[in-house]
Amino acid sequence: MTKGLLHHIEIYVTDLKRSAEFWGWFLEELGYNTFQKWDGGQSWRLDDTYIVFVQTEERFQDVPYHRCRVGLNHIAFHAESRRHVDEMTETLNNKGINILYKD
């Protein structure tokens, strides 16, 4: 194993079903496969890296999410090409997903 490579990212979410529907498609488009699935979470894996989504307990959901709050701001992935990014953006638009930076 190469020192410094990303092992995994774990993200707590307020709606696991909704998050899995969005991220499942997105990650599979990038080559990830379902790795683990249990009542309170799901993960996707690509080679030695995996991304985990865990359902946040209700008692911790009182503060709404905002990407500028303390915590994970974003994750950036490599795509095959600019065309691949454009195709994924079009698919996201068709799914009704808000695109943060359209340019």
Query: Considering only the top CATH level, what class is 8-56+72-94?
Result: alpha beta
Query: Can you give the pLDDT of all 103 residues of the chain as single tens digits?
Result: 677 888 899 999 889 999 999 999 999 999 999 999 999 999 999 998 999 999 988 887 787 776 676 667 778 888 889 999 899 999 999 999 888 777 7
- What are phi and psi for residue 57, nearest 5 degrees? -60, 145
Report the Cα 102 to chain-centroid distance in Å: 19
Please give the pLDDT value at position 19: 93
Please give the pLDDT value at position 1: 65
Contact 6, 19 (CB under 8 A): no
H or E element that contains 83: helix 82-94
8-13 and 49-55 as β-strands: parallel, antiparallel, unpaired? parallel
**What would the DSSP string read from start to end of 8-64?**
EEEEEES-HHHHHHHHHHHHHHTT-EEEEEETTEEEEEETTEEEEEEEPPGGG-SSP
Q: Domain extents for the chain?
A: 8-56+72-94
Please give the pLDDT value at position 58: 83
